[in-house]
Amino acid sequence: MEIRWGIIGTGDIAHEFADSLKACGSTLYGVANRTFARAEAFAKKYDTRVYESPEALVEDENIDVVYIGATHEVHYKYIMLCIEHGKHVLCEKTLVINEKQMDEVERAAKEKGVIVEEAMTVFHMPLYRKLRDMIEEGYFGKVQMVQVNFGSWKDDPSMRFFDPKQAGGAILDIGGYATSFVRVFLDSMADRFASDVTMHESGVDDRWGIVMTNPEGQKAVVSIAMRAKLPKRGVVSCEKGYLEIDVNYPRACEALYVKHDGTREIIRCGDATRSAMCYEVEDMEELIRNPRETKSFRFTGEIVRALYKIRSSHGIFYPCE
């Protein structure tokens, strides 16, 4: 069964996804963008069809699944449009920006019987599935605490990250990676949050310190920064030792396990030489062929609601809400 992909958006992430489709041997059927000239240039580069608008792409019955690589503020609009036309959806993080939108996406996807997934590498990398299985088997003992960082350095105020109208800021961009890492290892989603934020002069959130606690008493400490470089490092403290993933954890294929006696073990899973997005493509195509409810979609919903609760407690909202 050939699965034909459409792409909405032509930014850097969309180019990376198109390259990954090719590397995976999957079919890119067409592309659309709000600016037609950019879609036309993208289509020429990848030798694919170009559509006059995202709406025209979604209406094409030849397309089975749509990858949405547009900016945050239009995710909900395009996801709902795809669902309405019976298209499966793989959408860049963050999937949607608040709990009301998440409720509507969940309801509509269930009614239409389509697959919706977030293109969050943490949920699709084989390493995290392996580590989660090992936790459930008791290999590390019970998880006690998670610490995770993500800090980038963005200094061009014209970038979308600094634009409230495009739902810019740290929490919906890099914050999704950090909280997704946390969610993989916790027994359940956190329901208590303590947080502090520093705002950027453009009106978006810049730096966060967040403490999360779930009903089981497991804790997570999250540090994210949009204009302060931090290592992409995660540490998971367990009863028998700790796990450390300190080489770009969103796309990691290797973890270090250090036992209490100092014994060290390297745990590997996945291929570090291939595009991380290939795992997203393969997971999505397998779900289309064999539909089922997924843990990753449930986790995405929990994180959307948590991030909304955290930022709304500081009065942070976007013009598109």
What does the pLDDT read at residue 70? 96
Tell how far CA 34 is from the center of its chain.
Answer: 22
CA pair distance 128, 138, nearest whole angstrom: 15
- Contact at 8 Å (CB) between 115 and 88? yes
- What would the CATH number be for the domain defined by 4-119? 3.40.50.720
User: How many Å apart are CA 125 and CA 287, to the nearest integer?
Assistant: 15
Q: Is 161 left (phi over 0), alpha (psi -120 to 50) or beta?
A: alpha
Residue linked to tokens 């993500």: 150
CA 50 remoteness from chain centre? 26
Residue 101 parent element (H or E): helix 99-112
What tens-digit pLDDT sequence spans the chain (321 residues)?
899 999 999 999 999 999 999 999 999 999 999 999 999 999 999 999 999 999 999 999 999 999 999 999 999 999 999 999 999 999 999 999 999 999 999 999 999 999 999 999 999 999 999 999 999 999 999 999 999 999 999 988 889 999 999 999 999 999 999 999 999 999 999 999 999 999 999 999 999 999 999 999 999 999 999 999 999 999 999 999 999 999 899 999 999 999 999 999 999 999 998 999 999 999 999 999 999 999 999 999 999 999 999 999 999 999 999
Evaluate the CA torsion angle 259, 262, 265, 267 in order and state its sign.
Answer: positive
The pLDDT value given to residue 157: 87
> Domain coordinates of the chain in residue numbers?
4-119, 123-278+302-312
User: Which pLDDT belongs to residue 28?
Assistant: 98
**CA separation for the pair 239, 69 (Å, rounded):** 40
For the entire predicted model, the pTM comes to 0.96
User: CB under 8 Å to 235, separation ≥6 — which residues?
Assistant: 146, 147, 148, 242, 243, 244, 245
* CA dist list (Å): 290 to 214, 299, 321: 32, 20, 35
According to DSSP, residue 123 is labeled: G
Q: Which residues pair with 89 in a beta bridge?
A: 66, 116
Query: How crowded is residue 290: how many other Cβ atoms within 10 Å of its Cβ?
Result: 7
One of 3.40.50.450, 3.90.76.10, 3.40.50.970, 3.30.360.10 is the CATH number of 123-278+302-312, namely 3.30.360.10
For residue 314, count other CB atoms closer than 10 A to its CB.
Answer: 14
Q: List pLDDT tens digits, range 191-200.
A: 999 999 999 9
Phi, then psi, of 45 in degrees rounded to 5 = -60, -40
Residue 8 structure tokens: 């909405």
Q: Helix (H, G, I), strand (E, B), or coil: what is residue 234?
A: strand
Determine contact, residues 314/197, Cβ cutoff 8 Å. Answer: yes
